[in-house]
Amino acid sequence: MKKEANEKKMVSRRDLLRVAASLGVAVVGGTTLLSGCKKSDPCGDLKGVPEAQVKLRNSLQYKAQSDFAAKNCANCNLYIAPAGGSSCGGCKTFKGPVAPKGWCKMWVKKA
């Protein structure tokens, strides 16, 4: 006799746990691999920047990539353009390298 076509197949608890564990390993491994693919921020090196300045930078919510299309460090009145072929500029508000496409709460439209 043939088994019915719509007969339900039972999955054991052991098989379910094995699949769940494999999926968890795959997610963690994939996340780890993708984190290595992130573009590094050439203006993110804060070595030599005083801790107080790093705290100020963080309190102003500085980020290397602006969320606003028309607002970025390059068109901010406080931005100091890069010198000597560097890709990172500076800021009149805080010390440390600043990405031209960055942004912080102190953004002021360039006059």
The answer to the question of residue 32 being in a domain is no
Is 71 within a domain?
yes
Tokens standing for residue 79: 């931005």
Domain count, the chain: 1
Q: H helices of 13-50, where?
A: 13-35
The CATH number for 73's domain is 4.10.490.10
Is residue 21 situated within a structural domain? Answer: no
Q: Which residue has the higher pLDDT, 97 or 7?
A: 97
CB 82 within 8 A of CB 43: no
Q: Which two tokens stand for residue 21?
A: 């564990």
52 falls within a domain: yes
Encoded tokens for 11: 């999955």
Q: Is residue 79 pLDDT above 90, yes or no?
A: yes
The answer as to whether 7 is a domain residue is no
What is the tens place of the pLDDT at every residue in 15-52? 878 878 887 777 777 666 655 555 578 899 999 999 99
Q: Which residues pair with 71 in a beta bridge?
A: 68
Decide if 82 is inside a domain.
yes
Phi and psi angles of residue 24, each rounded to the nearest 5 degrees, phi first: -60, -45
- Which tens digits make up the pLDDT trace of 87-99? 999 999 999 999 9
Stated pTM of the model: 0.63
Q: What is the Cα–Cα distance from 104 to 71, expressed in whole angstroms?
A: 9
Q: Which domain holds residue 55?
A: 48-111
